Structure 1
């Protein structure tokens, strides 16, 4: 009887979850000035949303250690979270997701990355982007990048707006007075923009581009 009741409870929970329920891996980047998480999207449910968050780790010691390890570097870190409904990260969600548990991984969590901080609690501070992706084939002649951060250390996150497309996160150092507005480049198929092209779009020096944190095309074909 207890087994039957447990199964019914699980069935009820599954029925209550919407189509965005799943394990939503994220790229993790930032440093002392802020921590950010970018959902690794696809063109099918439950992953067909581009989502960028500002976050922190609930445990102060882990948060400080992580920021120090990330600060000024471009090594890929990822978040391997518990399952949840991605729709709960929408700005107007009825039941907004305020925090979730996750392993913090140096490298890609599905491609040989090594867990550095297990079972950490991630607190969602701010939703910077939440966009549903269209599965229809389309082309764009430009690549538009959102800027994250307003100080010296900043990041560019490409807006996914065509299919096929690429997911791209770049670190750069801004000079005083640099605009925090989005930047646009000429898009050349799925080729990764060069540091020189990014520098021209930002009206800055080539050595200001710190490098690519994440670039991936396979999930967006």
Structure 2
């Protein structure tokens, strides 16, 4: 299902803050082996109130370039052309043009790859941010892709945080930490004997 709606870079950035299913919905990229993954940047306001993780398929050259920077520890964010977020919520597979930024596209990130064609290939995670309660601890869901293992923080009522952690092995049970501070999680995991790498942490968009 190709998507071919065109917008300028400024339109993309403005649309991300608007409240319409049809718009430009930003994401952060991360890698599972040779697979590129994208996590939707959620907000509490509908329709952006979903945690979503998707497997992407990019052209070979762009895929290798993206993987190289991700393996080097660089943050990359994705800004697709306008599309209906319900396609991701419903787990659809579709093609679309997109831009890749080095850094966060709303916070001084630099446009790196423009108008590349990619496929949202497979939904890996879906969680609505509705009827949330205030957290007294940090709870994580676990998922694995291509022999890579990840913790995704279950965003709670504000203030909360969006966080993706990578683990060398799959934990036996879901992880709960005695903190509501995303910056403290790595040390708490280390104290539990769990070595983790932080791939993404966002607090500002979920502070209120």
Q: TM-score, normalising length from structure 1?
A: 0.74
Q: CA deviation at 1:170?
A: 2.1
Q: How has the CA–CA distance of structure 1 residues 124 and 108 changed in structure 2, closer, same or farther, with 3 Å as cutoff?
A: same
User: Distance between the aligned counterparts of 1:83 and 1:129, measured in 2?
Assistant: 22
CA-atom RMSD, angstroms?
2.5
Report the number of matched residues.
189
> Which position in structure 2 is the counterpart of 1:47?
48
| Matched residue, 1:170 | 165
Distance 1:114 1:86 in 2: 24
Aligned to 2:80: 81
Q: 1:193 aligns with which of 181, 184, 191?
A: 184
Give the Å deviation of 1:91.
Answer: 3.7
Distance 1:63 1:20, change over 3 A: same
Q: Distance in 1 between matches of 2:120 and 2:190?
A: 31
Deviation for aligned residue 1:149: 2.8
Given that 1:22 and 1:46 are in contact with CA atoms closer than 8 Å, whether structure 2 keeps it comes out as: no
- The alignment status of 1:156 with 2:151, answered yes or no, reads yes
Is 1:126 the counterpart of 2:122 in the alignment?
A: yes
Structure 2 residue ranges without an equivalent (≥5): 1-18
Partner residue, 2:33:
32
| Runs of 4+ with >6 A deviation | none
Deviation readout 1:129-151 (Å, 9 max, x if unpaired): 222212x6731223222234356
In 1, Cα distance between equivalents of 2:145 and 2:172: 6
Return the index of the structure with the highest Cα Rg: 1
Matches of 1:160 and 1:49 in 2, distance apart?
A: 10
